Structure formats: C-alpha cells, structure tokens
A and B are shown apart, each in its own frame.
Chain A
Amino acid sequence: MISKAQLERLFVSSVMLAFASLAISIVGIKPQLFQNIQLLFLVIALISVLVLGVQSKTIQFNANRLKKQIIGWILSSFFSILIWSFAQKDVQSIFPAIKGYRKALNTLEPVAIYLSIVFILFALILAIVGARDSRLDRPGYIERTLVYNLSSKIAAIPMMLTSVGIFIVATLWTVYHSFTNSRMLPKSEFIGLAQYERLWNSDRWYMSIENLAIYGACSLVFSLFIGFLLAALLDQKTRFENTFRTIFLYPFALSFIVTGLVWQWILNPEYGVEKIVRSLGFESFVFNPLYNTDIVIYGILAAGLWQGTGFIMCLMLAGLRGIDQEIWKAAKIDGIPMWKTYIQVVIPMMRPIFITTLVIIAAGIIKVYDLVVAQTSGGPGISSEVPAKYVYDYMFSAQNLGQGFAASTMMLVSVLIVLIPFAYLQFGRRKYD
C-alpha cells in the first residue's frame, strides 16, 4: 500500500512533469507525443487525488480549515476556463472585441486548459487534506507546497517563467535547431553536424573568430591595465577625484552606437586625425584604421576601450577602497616602495575583484555587435566581422537560420567555458567560508 506522503509527492511531481511536457509540446518538438504524455501525467495526478480521497474517506469543501485556499484555486480555475473560452471561435463571434487578441489567445489556449485542470485538482486535494482533523498531524507535503508561503511563490512566477520558460527552453530550442537544415523557417529535420561543418569552413566565420580573439585579448589586457592604473592614480587621496571619475566614466553612459559613430568620424581619413597630422607637414602620414583591412579591428578596439575602461576603473577603485589601510602603513614602515606594494600585496589581495571583472569583461566581449555595426558594418569587406554579427546576418538577412543557430551555439559554448569554472570557484569558495 502506498502511504499518504508518497501519494502527495506523486501528485506534485506528476503535475510538474505534465507542465514540462506541455512546455516541450508548445516549443514544437514532437507536439503530438508530448501532448499525450502531458495527458498521461494529468491522469496519474487525478488518480492519486482519488486514491487519497478514498484513503481519507472525506472530501469536504465547506467547514474546512483550508476554505479560503480552496475557493481561491477554484476561482483561478474559473479564470483559466474563461481565457480558454475566449480562444474559441463561437465565443469570439459573440464578443467581437476579443478578436484583436486572437493570436495571443490561441497561444495561451493550451496553457489555459492545463491550468484550469490543475487548479481544480489543487482545490480537490486541498479539500481532502484539509478535511481531516490534523491538529496533531504534521501538515503534509501538499499543504507545504500549495499553501505555505504562497504569495511569495506567486510573486516569483515571473522569475520562474523567465528562467526556465525562456532562458532554458529558448536556449535548448536553439541548440536543438542548430542540428537541422532550417532555412527561411525553422524545421525539425535532423541533419547532424552539417551546419557546424559549413560554419567552420566559412571564411567569414574564421575572420569573426580571429577578430573576436584579437579584440578580446587586447581589450582584456588593456582595460584591466589602464583601469587599474587609473584607479591607483585616483586612490592617492587625489584632489578633484570626483571630477576625474566623472570624466572617465561618462562614455560608459553612452550607447555603443553613439561611441561607434563618433570614432568613425574621428578616424575618418578625409577629415579626421590623418588630415590634421598631414596638415602639420607630414604629407605621407597614413592613419586610416577603419579603411585598412589589416588593422580595422584596432580601430574598433580604440572605441571600445574609450567606452569601457572607465567602468573597469570604477570596479578597481571599489576594490582598492576595500583594502585595509593598515597594509599601506605596514608597507611604509618596512620601507617597501609603493609600486612594489601594489604588485606584491595589493593585487594578490584583490584577486576576487579581478576574477569578477575578468568574467564581466569576457561576457561583454562576446556580445560585441553594436559597436561594429555603427563603426564599420563589418567592412571593409569582411575584415571586421564578429560572431554576434554573423549570427544576426544569417538569421535575419541571409534567411539561413540553421547557420545562425549553429553560430550562436558556438558562442554559448565559449561563454560556458569561461562561466562554469567561475561559478565553480564562486560556489566552491562559499562552501569553505
């Protein structure tokens, strides 16, 4: 015989599994199969409710200590039925005002049916659980899941939906479809690694990767170095510290588009830096990074550094302020020069900040897109392409979704390579604290 606690767990888990299969069927992976699986789980949930009812021999909606909850769930169920009915053609012909939202309603329809069934089941099971006199009994699993802290769980619904429903499901969807031959529209025909083969045989992708590597390595090194240097300079009890910080940080408030366009103008060979140096008498001076395929990425780097270094400086400054001032006194007494104190004492002490900053910069680098679009649009030729732009172009201009999905999956993989060790370090450290 199954015990009460086991039945309750069975109920909750089958409801959750039903929800998962509903999500999968909405995403479009074998919808028919997963709809049937969803139905199966709902039936299991229903059976567990019935068995529980038979075991406890009572179903009481009135005079129940969980009365408010039961009414609430029944009302919620009623609302979901209402939404479901709005999606029906007959109802829509009665109330023509709804027709404008037809598309949204059709999307919501399966969820609404699911919710109305589940809510009714919740009401039923609470009627069973709450009917028994449980003054001595510890509240069961069901009650703890459905009743306790309910407002908090409802308030966290947007977070749950976003984290699971969007971040995880959308990511898996894209990864799955990167193995298909989707072109104009996503298809679910599996073709193995063909998209990746094409990706890695494409000159444009190689160029993108190479550019990203150069841009990433340089901007990591330079923004850390310059950012730390500026922070150290501002940390000398400098006067006008706020003014300087305001000046160094203002580019960070600007859009990448604005940054890109300004630097495009400054680096313009006809009117910009090149012309000025030439007019000073150096007639053969050449400085046109945005029109030279070999160095165009450094032109973009200049703009990127101009925008981002102030931010790194702020993080470093916060780190320096967190250092115990006694360290400086101790170093002074020992006669250690200041630069040596920085390198041998302060920087090792700031290791956590450096790691965090590193991850932030790395995550930002891989997203570089706007800057390139504004400054060069990937040109001249393909010499300043980056992966993010590759993804966008293949998804929305070249109508070759499969390539876009494969490229974005590669981006994901590279981020995870950085992120997982970092998360491991973070969580590992917390354990020992």
Chain B
Amino acid sequence: MTDSQNNSGVVEPRGPKPRKIMSRRNIILYGTLLVVAIYYLIPLYVMIVTSLKGMPEIRLGNIFSPPVEVTFEPWIKAWSQACTGLNCDGLSRGFWNSVQITLPSVIVSIAIASVNGYALANWRFKGANLFFTILIFGAFIPYQIMIYPLVILLRDLGIYTKLPGLILIHSIFGMPILTLLFRNYFTTIPEELFKAARVDGAKFWGIYFRVMMPMSLPIFVVAIIMQVTGIWNDFLFGVIYTKPDTYPMTVQLNNIVNSVQGVKEYNVNMAATLLTGLVPLTIYFISGKLFVRGIAAGAVKG
C-alpha cells in the first residue's frame, strides 16, 4: 500500500515524522470524513428505523427518531401480505422469482463469458477482435434501442414474459462486461503455462478446465458477485420482459410502494425496500474487497 513496504532494504530513517493525534490536519480530515460517512449512513438508518415503527408513531414522530416500541409487524406484512394489483401474497413471490431468475442467469452468463474470454485471450483467430470491439460498444449503447427487437425475438421463440426469456436477456447483456473481465484476467496468466499444457497434448477444452479454470477462481468469484448484484438490482428488463406473475423483486417492490390505491403504510414500504436491498447488501458486506475489485475491473478498459 505504501512505499515504505516496497523498498525495505534501504537503511535510512524513512516515513513521515510522527504527528500528534489531535493536530489541526487530522481534525479536518477525520471531521470531513465522519460528516460524509454520516450523510451516507442516514438513508440506511432511516430505512431500518421506519420499518420497526408502527404507523401511529410514524405520524407523530419524525423519521430520524428511534422507535419507542419495536415491532416486526411491517416486516411480516411486507413479506407475506402486501398487495400488488390483484394478488396479495407480499414480496415473497417476487423474491422467489428473483432467485429463479438470478441463479440460472449468473451461471449461464459466466459460463459463456469465461469461455469467450478464454478464446479471445489464448486462442485468438482472425476477426475475433472485431467482434470483441462490437461487443464492448454494445455495453455503452443505451439498452432502449435494442429492447423492442428483443421483444419480437422472445415472442417468436415463445418465451416472452416467461422466466427463460429474462434469463436469456440477462445472459446477453451481461456478456460484454464479463467477457472483458475474463479476457483481461486470462491475458495476465503467464503464457508459459498455456504453452506447457499444449506441449503435454492438452487441447482447447482440456486447458480451459484443467489449467485456466482452477487458476482463476478469484475472478470467477468477482464475476459472480458482479452478476448477482447486477441482476438482482435490475429493473428495466424485469418490467419489460415479465408479467405480474413473474415480476422480479425490484419491480414488485416498486409496484407495492408506488401503488396509488389504499392508505400508504410507510413502515411496510420501508420494510419491503430493506428486504429487497438485503441480498445485495449482504453480498457487499461479505465480499468486501472483491466487490471493489469487480467494479474496478469492469470499469477500467484495456
């Protein structure tokens, strides 16, 4: 992280002068960071606090005050009773839909993209880079321009508004960034290993399964994290390529909270919002540095 670790062979006093803890610089530095951190944490705090209050308390108090009487009623209601349109079985339906969408999409998209990245990195053929360039361009083009032809395609295949259709869509649109991720990683693996495997007689798939895949577990974990959070958080594709029965969680959440009928139950809304955010947040807090690495790798182009 710092240079002092890098050149540890040098024998001279190094590093900054020891500083007082309460120097003016430190107060400004940590003061600013603390204020910003509080600003970032407020929405999470408000969500949690609101979801634990009863409706009367919300009407009387303010949104920042901690709950006087902690109740889990809103959570239960959000999970199993909140209404969207006609069906009133809560967010649980959306949750299971999202699970059914996310798992296969993640597996399919990563399987395809890793093989693609491997082909691009180690078995380059003429014209491969052209396709790759188009693919990367596709990541930046607004999805809106490709939405409708894909509706027609899915309708022709008979999977429009069904879960397999959405899985296909996620696999397609996950491909650019994942292929880039894998290609960049595989090019950093020393070529000697690849050559040695070839000399030993391994072919395309043999090298992939026996050499490349075992060596690149971290990047697979990064890709899984990226895809799970990305697909779980998706709204646009969910709202276009599914119908109320198969809505993923985000779409259902939006419908519950922004429905115009009935009395607004803010505590239930916040509980539902938290429930939806819980999956990516859990992944984020568990994965820590890998998450950061994933977004940085997805962002920094060749």
> Chain A residues in contact with chain B, CB under 8 A?
27, 101-104, 106-107, 148-149, 151-153, 155-156, 158-160, 162-164, 166-171, 173-175, 177, 186, 230, 233-234, 236-238, 242, 244-259, 261-266, 268, 271-272, 275-276, 279, 306, 310-311, 314-315, 318, 321, 325, 353, 356-357, 359-360, 363, 366-367, 369-370, 373-374, 377, 387-388, 391-392, 395-396, 401, 404-405, 407-409, 411-412, 415, 419, 423, 426
A370 adjacent to B236 (CB under 8 Å): yes
**How many of B's residues come within 8 Å of A, CB to CB?**
97
Determine if A262 and B148 form an interchain contact, defined as CB atoms under 8 angstroms apart: no
Task: Mark B286-302 against chain A: 1 for CB-CB distance below 8 A, else 0.
Answer: 00100110011001111
Bound-state CA distance A67–B281 (Å) is 55
- For the complex, give the distance between the alpha carbons of A186 and B150 in Å: 13
Q: Contacts A159-B116, A306-B39, A363-B140 known; list 20 others, CB within 8 Å.
A: A106-B156, A148-B125, A149-B125, A152-B125, A159-B132, A163-B131, A167-B134, A167-B146, A250-B281, A253-B280, A254-B233, A255-B232, A261-B254, A271-B58, A272-B63, A314-B295, A388-B142, A392-B236, A392-B239, A412-B141
A146–chain B nearest beta-carbon distance, Å: 11
**Cβ-defined contact, A255 with B142, below 8 A:** no
User: Is the Cβ of B257 less than 8 Å from the Cβ of A261?
Assistant: yes
- B254–A253 CB distance below 8 A: no
With a 10 A CB-CB cut-off, give which of B2, B50, B150, B172 has the most chain A CB atoms.
B172
User: Are A377 and B149 interface neighbours, CB within 8 A?
Assistant: no
Give the chain B neighbours of A252 by CB distance below 8 A: 295
| Interfacial chain A residues near B43, Cβ < 8 Å | 251, 259, 262-263, 266, 306
* B interface residues, Cβ below 8 angstroms from A: 1-3, 16, 29-30, 32-33, 36-37, 39-44, 46-47, 50, 58-59, 62-64, 112, 115-116, 118-120, 123-125, 128, 131-132, 134-135, 137-150, 152-153, 156-159, 172, 175, 179, 203-205, 229, 232-236, 239-240, 250, 253-254, 257-258, 266, 269-270, 273, 276-277, 280-281, 283-285, 288, 291-292, 295-296, 299-302
Q: A27, A148, A258, A391: which contacts B276 (Cβ < 8 A)?
A: A258
Contacts of A411 in B (CB 8 A): 142, 144-145
- Whole-angstrom CA separation of A248 from B292 in the bound complex: 12
A395-B148, A405-B148, A411-B145 are contacts. A262–B33 as well, Cβ < 8 Å? Answer: no
A166 touching B172, Cβ below 8 Å: yes
Within the assembled complex, what's the spacing in Å between the Cα atoms of A164 and B172?
A: 12
Most chain A CB within a 10 A radius of its CB, from B41, B119, B179, B250: B119
Chain B contacts for A360, CB-based, 8 A: 299
Provide 15 A-B residue pairs closer than 8 Å at the C-beta atoms, listed in order of the A residue: A104-B159, A151-B204, A155-B204, A163-B131, A163-B135, A164-B131, A253-B280, A253-B284, A254-B277, A255-B276, A306-B43, A373-B254, A408-B142, A415-B142, A419-B140
**Known interface pairs A261-B269, A265-B269. Does A162 touch B175 (Cβ–Cβ under 8 Å)?**
yes
By a CB distance below 8 angstroms, the chain B residues around A244 are: 33, 37
Q: Which of A103, A106, A237 contacts B2 (CB 8 A)?
A: A237
A-B contacts at CB below 8 angstroms, number:
277
